[in-house]
Amino acid sequence: MDALDLYLLGGAAVLLAAVVAVRVASRVGMPGLLAFLLVGLALGESGLGIRFDDEELTQLVGFAALAVILAEGGLTTRWQDIRPVIGLSTVLSTVGVLVSVAAVAVCAHLALGFDWRLGILIGAVVSSTDAAAVFSVLRRLPLRRRLSATLEAESGFNDPPTVILVTVVASDAWETASGWEIGGLVVYELVAGALIGLLVGFVGQWLLNRIALPASGLYPVSAIAIPLFAFGGAGMLHASGFLAVYVGGLVLGNASLPHRNATLGFAEGLAWVAQIGLFVMLGLLASPTRLDDALVPALVVGVALLLVGRPLSVLISASAFRLPWREQTFLSWAGLRGAVPIVLATIPAVAPIWGRARLFDVVFLLVLMFTVVQAPTLPWVARRLRVAAPDEARDIVVEAAPLDELRAELLAVTIPPRSRLAGVWVTDLRLPDGAVVTLLVRDGRSTVPDQHTRFRVGDQFLVVTTTADRRATERRLRAVSRAGQLARWWGEHGGDVPARRTHEHG
């Protein structure tokens, strides 16, 4: 019992320290993963002296944590947002990954003298954007909906190809299997994983809507267990569990589920626990005394990825979709790395590959350094490239059953400088019939708007809208923000890309 008390005390202290650390990190624009890694380093052999070097346990726990994070990502991703970008996201997560792997492998071979197998392996390990990092950073960053949806969908889809590629390169299949066999394996795992995720998601949706559970708290538990069931089932059939869990969560998250808001809140909390446990454990596994030797390789690989691999993969993947160069540039800079590369670096730990011993240290240091460089600069880069959308409506998750029963949703809008919402009377906003402005916050004071209320720069207001009218409400708010109350006359209808006439006449 004394040992149990000690473990519970230590575990609770780590959780609370991580919560405080992520609060501090968020104030300076850093993703929580960096704070958690630093907590792990502080607890490790160079800090409080806790020794942890079990790479196999790290890999198992890491895969389980990533499954929970992807399940939450699928549950909280709206299909109507990613549907217009599903093609681009799919190409980025397949063709883009291969291009990035090739570019990094060539740079590692030429600049560091790595053999081709190790070069391809390190390229595959670092080429996947991280779902936890992307979700935690971009969902707080006001971006054009198309950009944020592309990055979120890509981070959910590109884990399976990289996991398969790293596993193949690190295994005997690299020397014994032909290119056709490896390609066939990759296609099977991806297609089978997607189909399993769809099947489990639709069956789970059908069951949750027809089985009356004795307690409301069981619905969130069931909703997170269903995509995890898809993960396990796909693994048993040698398919991609990561794709299955994300697709299964995506199906469930876009269904009409009982106690939906409570489910999303539970999934978010569980994902935070998974992130904290995973990143603290990865910080424990790292040894600061070994990182000096990994500094130069990490810089070379990181620069090759950031300035060559990622931009080239975006350029080739987006060429068929006519994406403006500003958005391509932001996509190139916003390819955040996190837990996925570090966990993948544990896979070749027992493989007979020259240089594998330093792989974990190189990847760990790379993620640490380039997260510090990329994450805080994203808001500035978005503003400079003019892809930020500060007036974009954001979801507000409220633990209130009436919203579910009424099929209503709550949106929050902030009026930024130069928005043409400023000066518009509430009655001239002309939202759809199923939407209404319910609360206005100005100079720290909350009021209920009426026909005498006129919006100003800096105002924040809440909109309650029916689920059916949500998209029309968002489009109307964007249109008025760009072109004023006569937006329709100017040809502005609130699409993701501003209409040309808005710039001419606005």
Q: What is the pLDDT of residue 416?
A: 86
- Which amino acid is residue 197, in one-letter code? G
Cα–Cα distance, 71 to 230 (Å, whole number): 10
Chain position carrying tokens 């060539």: 106
Task: Give whole-number Cα distances, 329 to 70, 95, 98, 253, 496, in Å.
Answer: 26, 18, 19, 30, 17
Q: What is the pLDDT of residue 504?
A: 40
Cα–Cα distance, 138 to 145 (Å, whole number): 11
The first and second tokens of residue 455, run together, are: 């919006």
**What are the average pLDDT values for consecutive 10-residue runs of the chain, which has 506 residues?**
80 83 70 77 79 81 89 86 88 91 92 87 86 68 80 84 85 74 84 94 90 82 93 92 92 83 84 86 80 86 91 91 89 83 78 67 85 82 81 55 68 87 88 89 89 89 88 87 82 64 41
Task: Give whole-number Cα distances, 446 to 136, 189, 439, 451, 496, in Å.
Answer: 28, 53, 7, 16, 30
The first and second tokens of residue 448, run together, are: 């209920």
Cα–Cα distance, 362 to 298 (Å, whole number): 5
pLDDT digits (tens, 9 = 90+) for 454-499: 999 989 999 998 888 888 888 888 888 888 888 788 777 777 655 5
pLDDT digits (tens, 9 = 90+) for 65-102: 889 988 988 898 888 878 888 899 999 988 999 999 99
Cα–Cα distance, 361 to 339 (Å, whole number): 13
- Which amino acid is residue 229, in one-letter code? F
Tell if the pTM clears 0.85, that is, is over it.
Answer: no
Q: What is the pLDDT of residue 505?
A: 39
Enumerate domains of the chain plus CATH numbers. 2-384 (1.20.1530.20), 394-505 (3.30.70.1450)
